[in-house]
A = this chain, B = another copy of it.
Amino acid sequence: MSTIGKALSLLDTVSRLDKEAGLTDIARLCGLDKATARRFLVELEKHGFVEQDPETRRYRIGSAPVRLARIREARYPFLRVAVPFIKALAEASTETVHLSEFSGSRLSTIHVEDSPRAHRVNVEVGTLLPFHATASGLAYLAFCPPDEIDAALSKPLERVTEYTIVDPAVLRGLLDETVARGFSINHQGIEAGVVSTAAPIRAPGGHPIGCVAIAAPMVRADQAGLMEFGAQVVAAANAISEKYYGSERPAGTTAQIRRTG
């Protein structure tokens, strides 16, 4: 792997830690030599991507990403565009709705609107969404080119709950259904007692960039309800895509999405 890649992976590792970490821990977690980890950290610090607490000597994420994020969001306000739709959907569905974005070869939650109900599904911003075990992951993957699907399914698939599907062949079946339907359904794959539906937000080329998902307690989602949620996530995802990328519609399998949306 390139040095840059290793350094960015280190940054990623640091960002995933619950708290600030010391040099030795970081090196171990990244599988790097202490000297190497240190040089990376120094270099990253120079550019503001990490900072070292002068007292504890531990490292944390720096302020450079904040600057870049502001620029990105100013020029390309995905959240600003998407959040109103997520809010509206949360209100309409009275269930927890979350928005994910593909970044750095993973799908991560970037916004959540909680259900107003007492009994609800709680999702944390920042949560990573495994492709095989979440509605968002399946919706994302379903609309990816075959080689990306192959790559995702050839990795080891964790059995998160007793209901998680880890058989690639079965998963491929789900992906086909997802494409046909326009949205994905996940039965307790990531959390027992929870069902989700998700639809991809797609770039003009057709490639997904993220997903809209509704997560509800199983007791409130019968077959008809699920179909209704599905229609809603598809509508929201398409609306976001349209607003984000202008009036252009995604090419390729557009018809399939519209059909069900």
Contacts from A to B (Cβ < 8 Å): 2-5, 7-9, 11-12, 15, 39-40, 43-44, 46-49, 54-55, 60-76, 78-79, 101-105, 108, 110, 125-126, 203-205, 207
Cα A119 to Cα B132 with chains together (Å): 58
Q: Please determine whether B67 and A203 come into contact, CB atoms closer than 8 angstroms.
A: no
Cα A8 to Cα B40 with chains together (Å): 12
Q: Report the minimum CB–CB distance from A187 to chain B (whole Å).
A: 28
**CB-CB < 8 A to A75: which residues of B?**
60-61
Nearest 6 Cβ contacts at the A-B interface: A69-B69, A65-B68, A48-B103, A48-B104, A8-B47, A65-B65
**CB-CB < 8 A to A69: which residues of B?**
65-66, 68-70
The one of B66, B105, B205 that contacts A46, using a Cβ cutoff of 8 Å: B105
Q: Residue of B at shortest CB range from A2?
A: B43
Residues A43 and B8 in contact in the complex (CB < 8 Å), given A103-B48, A103-B63, A205-B54: yes
**CB-CB < 8 A to A43: which residues of B?**
2, 4-5, 8
Q: Report the minimum CB–CB distance from A133 to chain B (whole Å).
A: 20
Q: Please determine whether B39 and A110 come into contact, CB atoms closer than 8 angstroms.
A: no
Residues A73 and B78 in contact in the complex (CB < 8 Å), given A8-B43, A207-B54: no
**CB-CB < 8 A to A3: which residues of B?**
2-4
Q: Please determine whether A44 and B4 come into contact, CB atoms closer than 8 angstroms.
A: yes
Q: Please determine whether A104 and B4 come into contact, CB atoms closer than 8 angstroms.
A: no
Cα A20 to Cα B119 with chains together (Å): 45
Cα A102 to Cα B64 with chains together (Å): 9
Cα A54 to Cα B222 with chains together (Å): 40
Q: Please determine whether B67 and A15 come into contact, CB atoms closer than 8 angstroms.
A: yes
